[in-house]
Structure 1
Amino acid sequence: MNQAAAYLSLAAKLQQRILNGELPAGSKLPSERALCAQFEVSRVSARDALHALESQGLIYRLNRMGWFVAPPVFIYDPTRSSSIQEEAINQHRALTTELLSAGRETPPIQVSKALKQAPTQSAFVVTRRRAVDQRWVLLEVCYFRESAFPDLLCHDLAKSLTALVREQYGYRARELDVSISSTPLSQSQAQHLQVREGSPSLKLERQVKVAGEPIALEREFWLHDAIEMRVKGQGS
């Protein structure tokens, strides 16, 4: 069997095991060496088969930990006012949030412009990572105008920020300006999500306004193979 046929055959066998539930979501695949021994293929064929399954969204790799069966993608509408926690509940997914840092900083110049404040003016900055079904898939950095969110750092910032903004601070009628682009993850970003530096991500930037004035800027970095963005609209 030539190399192309070998890796395609191995990919098909592993795919069947995933689809029939023999390898459930979140389970770890055998190492490349174990696959070579079990299926009598070369290391190159085993690696090609794994990359083929990764390209189909069936498996994912954690840096220095190996390959795992991917859960279903997370469906997300970035224009909705509901929180990610609420979306996870609706989709029967397990969401984990870890607060990485929270404090007062001078934000990057682009953020200051988006918040319509002086470049030297500080803002509250909250950085968190979030896992869906035990896989870290999202790194978020949120910038809040200090004048709009007094005593923000006194709250439990590992809980829903959307609910906090809506219920504690009373900002229920909010306008959202959303932009989406693709970008490679930096070393620190990749480390938080347990992937390699330069891994592709979907960057979502959301400017939050009340009565036309910006009160916050949210930046989200999603692993590109873990999310499907859907936006509902009405045709004219």
Structure 2
Amino acid sequence: MGQHSMSKRHWEVANLGWLGERSSKFRQEVRNHVLVRRYSSGDYPHHVGDEAGGIYGVIEGSFGTYAASEAAGIVLGHIFRKGAWFGQGPITSGKPRYLSFKAMEASVILYLPPSALNQIAHSFPGAERELMSLSEYNQLIMTRVVSDLLIRKTDCRIAAVLLRLFEIIPNGLRAGDTCRLTQSELSEMTNTSRHTANTVLKSFELKGWIEVSYGSITLMRPDELRRCAYA
């Protein structure tokens, strides 16, 4: 992990999702307090059970979200990509971390430590509410994680998970967008075997919906993938 300065491009990326929906006053407060950190692939900003800390905004790379399961141990549920913010849970609960986050590749984040969050929350009337809105924003994503896993047909379930990973902003699917993702990670997030995930990906690729490379998938025809997911 290293400390770096923030570029104009980084700030634009940070505003793609949740932060971009906040007021200009709130965004400026965030900009005044953020720290830029770089993580190597495999680094963890925090683990399940860690004490509460700050929140993180992805501006380069991606971070896997891991939850503790009594049946399966630590499992991958979602991958946050550029524009996503995470780590807000303990802010509202005051309890230790219940999720782990891992850099899936070399990544850069904006970090707001607890002291900065406290200053932002008290900076102007309504600021605390804007900060807490991150919980609701990410709850909608977690709801999709659950609903995707309830899709019975395997190929439709895999298509739905792919769409979720590619959708950096609501209704923001773009042909040509590439996501760093292995078949093993996809099989874990879709609750399928690696062989099944590989077979389905090959069928999607033959139809021209995606392109599969080593360790990454490129979205080619989002509308077709959506039709498959929600048929």
Larger Rg: 1
TM-score, normalised relative to structure 1: 0.24
Richer in helix (by share): 2
TM-score (ref. length: structure 2):
0.24
Q: Which has the higher strand share?
A: 1
